[in-house]
């Protein structure tokens, strides 16, 4: 006895296929029919399993298995990153615009020179290395090279685009820093042109050059570019906007933004920037980081906000391929059923011819 779980609809489809292909119902041996039906239903189950396979799979897409493929796909993006680095270096080398600074303007530019509370080397650590560390930790947990690659690419684009825009504006505007007087006149004695009344600085050239780069704040823009990207990245991963009302998730998201804000405040406290410089730098960094994040990831409030666009595109393509393969297999099985039915009909004719001449004559008169 064969126990086969088959719906009435599937049996009807098979019998109808037999009838439409042969013109008659082929009476095959029950055992053979049940075996054929059983194999067909099992193949359907296998195809359904294959269609459902492209789901969220931990460890399915690692650096070793898909890293080279993903990197090659975005090779032009990495080339653009290298060009941005070259542009950033050039912008730091060229001389900024020397804005006119009269004697009456020095009143707001006589703040004392102080050391940086947040040194220059600490900015890349906060804006790049800290988000990169979080991204790598998530990769070791998730094992998703798509997320790793696009997060790193988005982070670097966010920081470098922000840096290029910031330094380009710095060089073009040439706004003096709040401590410009002491940069220009280290001895405290102001010297001005007798005709134009412009400053005639006597200080160190490199210090004076840096004194013309107040707007916007580079520390602030870089910090908000990197830490703002990190905040968006974390908001998608921990699903802050899942409508569950977990305020603790918001505290995690606000922490990188708070660090970036404190960096900006330190620039005002150190008299390296005016408050307008810090405000503009923070706004610039957040804007660029948002654009760069949305270029690679869905918005954090969306259902699929936890993963990159490329990952879901890959799943969709895999699902379409599996569905196409399933349809091809189903067509091949139907053709196999048709061939079996033809073979069955031929065997039936041979058996009738050998066993019953009367039936042969009857069939001949009926035109078969």
Whether 149 is catalytic is: no
Cα separation, 280 vs 260, in Å, equals 13
Burial 199-235 (b: 16+ CB within 10 A, else e): bebebeeeebebbbbbbbbbbbbbbbbbbbbbbbbbb
For 80, half-sphere exposure in the C-beta direction (CA atoms, 13 angstrom radius) is 12
Both tokens assigned to 182:
């002491």
Answer yes or no: 273 catalytic: yes
Closest alpha carbon to 173 in 284, 262, 266: 284
Per-position DSSP letters for 285-329, written without gaps between them: HHHHHHHHHHHHS--TTSTTTTS-HHHHHHHHHHHHHHHHHHHHH
Considering the candidates 273, 274, 343, 353, report the single residue annotated as catalytic.
273
Tokens 């620039």 found at: 267
Per the DSSP assignment, residues forming a β-bridge with 199 are 192
Q: How far apart are CA 261 and CA 257, in angstroms?
A: 6
> Which contacts (CB < 8 Å, 24+ apart) does range 76-84 have?
77/153, 77/157, 78/153, 81/153, 81/156, 81/157, 81/160, 84/157, 84/160, 84/161, 84/163, 84/164
- Catalytic site residue from 66, 219, 309, 353: 219
Name the helix (H) or strand (E) containing 247: helix 247-269
Active site members: 219, 273
């Amino acid at each position: 006895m064969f126990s086969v779980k088959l719906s009435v609809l599937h049996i009807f489809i098979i019998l109808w296929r037999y009838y439409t292909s042969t013109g008659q119902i082929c009476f095959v041996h029950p055992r053979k029919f049940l075996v054929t039906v059983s194999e067909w239903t099992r193949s359907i189950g296998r195809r359904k399993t294959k269609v459902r396979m492209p789901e969220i799979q931990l460890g399915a897409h690692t650096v070793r298995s898909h890293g080279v493929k993903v990197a090659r796909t975005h090779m032009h993006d990495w080339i653009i990153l290298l060009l941005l680095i070259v542009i950033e270096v050039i912008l730091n080398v060229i001389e900024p615009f020397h804005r006119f600074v009269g004697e009456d303007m020095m009143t707001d530019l006589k703040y004392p020179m102080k050391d940086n509370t947040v040194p220059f080397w600490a900015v890349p650590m906060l804006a790049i290395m800290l988000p990169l560390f979080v991204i790598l930790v998530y990769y070791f947990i998730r094992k998703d090279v798509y997320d790793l690659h696009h997060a790193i690419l988005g982070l670097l684009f966010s920081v470098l685009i922000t840096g290029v825009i910031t330094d380009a504006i710095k060089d073009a505007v040439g706004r003096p820093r709040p401590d410009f007087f002491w940069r220009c006149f280290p001895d405290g004695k102001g010297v001005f042109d007798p005709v134009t009344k412009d400053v005639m600085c006597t200080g160190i050239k490199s210090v004076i050059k840096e004194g013309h780069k107040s707007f916007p704040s580079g520390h602030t823009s870089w910090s908000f570019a990197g830490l703002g990207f990190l905040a968006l990245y974390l908001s998608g991963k921990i699903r802050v906007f899942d409508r569950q009302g977990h305020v603790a998730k918001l505290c995690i998201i606000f922490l990188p933004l708070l660090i970036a804000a404190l960096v900006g405040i330190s620039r005002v406290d150190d008299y390296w920037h005016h408050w307008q410089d810090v405000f503009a730098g923070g706004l610039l960094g957040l804007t660029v980081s948002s654009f760069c994040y949305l270029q690679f990831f869905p918005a954090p409030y969306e259902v699929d906000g936890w993963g990159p666009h490329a990952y879901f595109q890959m799943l969709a393509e895999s699902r379409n391929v599996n569905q196409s393969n399933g349809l091809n297999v189903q067509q091949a099985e139907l053709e196999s059923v048709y061939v079996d039915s033809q073979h069955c009909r031929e065997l039936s004719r041979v058996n009738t011819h050998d066993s019953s001449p009367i039936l042969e004559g009857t069939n001949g008169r009926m035109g078969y």
